Structure 1
Amino acid sequence: MGTGRQGASPCDRGKEVTVMTIGDMAGFGTLLGIWAHPDDEVHLSAGLMASARDAGQRVVCVTATLGEHGTSDPGQWPPARLAEVRAAELSASLAVIGVSEHHQLGLPDGGCADQPFDAVVDKLAAIIDEVRPDTIVTFGPDGFTGHSDHQTVSHWATEARSRTAPAARLLYATTTAEQIDAWQHVYDRLNVFLADGLPLRIPSSTVDVQLRLGEDLADRKLAALRAQASQTADLIAMLGEDTMRRWCCSTESFIDAESAATNATWGTWRPPGNP
């Protein structure tokens, strides 16, 4: 899987740690992903989850909402209908990468920031206490794209880990300067990043985990993305399968929470109509 420090352990807290082989995954132990909407987990960590499962490790996924407002055509896809579709898509997508343990918090799409903070953190803390993860993966404080649900989930996950499992490694999904430079033409078409100061441009030399997906793993990630067709079919059709694979399914980057910038004031996106 690409180049880097062959055989470097992901638990080495030094920089330039690159996951190279299935054997390297042992350092991650039990993996818990905490995300906002169906498809967040696949876009940002499908390769990591699949590699862990291939290595025989436990992987658990938490999703805060069902993304029931994730459509430009609410007449065709009213929230209740889309929620059912996206729940089924998420199950199928996780099955592609071998993940069968999933928790759904049932919170309103676009409304995470309005939920009682301590009550949600308590729910996540209970899941963490049951799973006992060695590694937790989620968004950084920036929310990756600046979506308010993403930022809120990051805050919840970070606090729940602090209260319940402070020894667990906490990884934030991020973007590197090299990735952004290589694919700026795609991001310009998609308008993915919705807040000031984004996308993050972390030098590859300073990320803590960088997973370079080989062809087989990239194909599995693409298949998992395809399974969430309500969100990805138009994107894949627009970009083409080859571009989608090379852009979205080639590299996943993460930074330790202790290494991440925590003092930045990020702009926060909210959907039209929300204050």
Structure 2
Amino acid sequence: MFVTLPYMHHALRTAARAALLILAVPAASAASAGDGPVLAAFAHPDDERVVGPLLARLAREGREVHLVIATDGSKGVTPHGGIAAGPQLAAARVTESQCAADRLGVRKLHMIGLEDGSLGHSMERLAELRTRLAAIVDAVRPEVVVTFGPEGGTGHPDHRLVGNVTTEIVQGDARRSGIRLFYASLPEERLRAAPQSVPRVSGVAEALLTVRVPVAPRDVAAGRASFACHATQYTPAQMDAINRTLAYVWDGTAWLRPWNGADPAPILP
């Protein structure tokens, strides 16, 4: 099922339906176009929560799903976590990320392990991110890549830079021209009306989120179970508040947009 706003232009609706097909090819058509690997690239352990139900649906339907986390999360100190910044916290967050990936059905978790909060510190650090992320992309050979858009979710510099570098990798080499790149976001209009939680996130105008993939209650449940792995970062009450916000905003839909506008090729039904 694909849902559009009544005022959405016909051409935009057509492009959106086509893009949705790229993401939604069922597992039964494993020999056909649209069944290739899916790679989600994010900055920190727990960033994947914005697409948790989508990744769960894709994995459930037989897609090979990879999750890339760029940083080690070693500076995510919280009052309740009781772990100081540094290697011990980084190790805890690797464990949490593997737990989260397993609960989503992710085939492989790729932890690049760059220092948390450091991606914008130097050209050398950005070059290292680009080199290591590009190597993963080339090894996985994904049909679909999902990452942050320019707004970067909460706006964290690491979020923005991972989305930027992922985009650079896809657009910078003709050998990767067949990759379908999508930005994951949330509709701003729904965020404003949603129950509030922390951290606050920046959304995108709903009309621009033209790729809308239905997610079943069991996929949402898998996303919540995955998010629950990140216990160093959120108390149960904080998780409940975030889950209420996301449930309202998602409303049974994963929201994305093609990185370069309309995507006419077929991707998921």
TM-score by length of 2: 0.78
Structure 1 regions of 5+ residues with no counterpart? 6-11, 194-198, 261-275
Residue equivalent to 2:10: none
Distance 1:145 1:213 in 2: 23
2:94 corresponds to which of 67, 87, 93: 87
CA contact 2:24–2:213 (8 Å) conserved in 1? no
- Judge conservation of contact 2:147–2:183 (CA < 8 Å) in 1: yes
Change (3 A) 1:257 1:234: same
1:120 aligns with 2:129: yes
Residue 221 of structure 1: aligned partner? 223
SS in 2 for 1:48: helix
- Secondary structure of 2:44's partner? coil
Name the residue aligned to 2:154: 145
Seen in structure 2, the aligned counterparts of structure 1 residues 210 and 191 have a Cα distance that, compared at 3 Å, is: same
Structure with higher RCO (Cα < 8 A, 6+ apart): 2
Equivalent residue for 1:163? 172
Q: How many residues align?
A: 242
Matching residue of 1:4: 3
Alignment of 1:3-42 (within 5 A): 4=3, 14-15=15-16, 23=26, 27=34, 29-41=36-48
| TM-score between both structures, scaled by the size of structure 1 | 0.77
Alignment check: 8 A CA contact 2:150 2:163 kept: yes
- Give the secondary structure class of the aligned counterpart of 1:254: strand
- Structure 2: unaligned runs, 5 residues or longer: 5-12, 263-269
Partner of 1:176: 187
- The answer to whether the Cα contact below 8 Å between 1:222 and 1:245 also exists between their aligned partners in 2 is no
With over 3 angstroms needed to count, the CA separation of the structure-2 counterparts of 1:211 and 1:235, relative to structure 1, is farther
Q: Is the 8 A contact 1:13 1:208 kept in 2?
A: no
Aligned equivalent of 1:46, options 46, 52, 57: 52
Equivalent residue, structure 1, for 2:260: 258
1:72 to 78, 87, 99: 78
Residue number in structure 1 paired with 2:233: 231
Q: Match for residue 203 of structure 2?
A: 200
Kindly provide the amino acid, as one letter, of the partner of residue 67 in structure 2: C
Give RMSD over aligned pairs.
3.0
* SS of residue in 2 equivalent to 1:76: coil
Distance 1:156 1:138 in 2: 10
Letter in 2 for 1:58: E
Q: Which amino acid aligns with 1:172?
A: Y
Q: Tell me, yes or no, if the aligned pair for 1:137 and 1:170 is still in contact at 8 Å.
A: yes
1:146 aligned counterpart, secondary structure: coil
Note if contact 2:41-2:68 (Cα within 8 Å) is conserved in structure 1.
Answer: yes
Q: Following the alignment from structure 1 to structure 2, what is the Cα–Cα distance between the partners of residues 152 and 237?
A: 26
- Give the secondary structure class of the aligned counterpart of 1:15: helix
Q: 2:141 aligns with which of 124, 127, 132?
A: 132
Contact 2:186 2:204 in 1 (8 A): yes
CA distance in 2, matches of 1:155, 1:237: 28
1:230 counterpart SS class: coil
Deviates more, 1:81-90 or 1:22-31: 22-31
Contact map agreement 1:236 1:244 (CA 8 A) in 2:
no
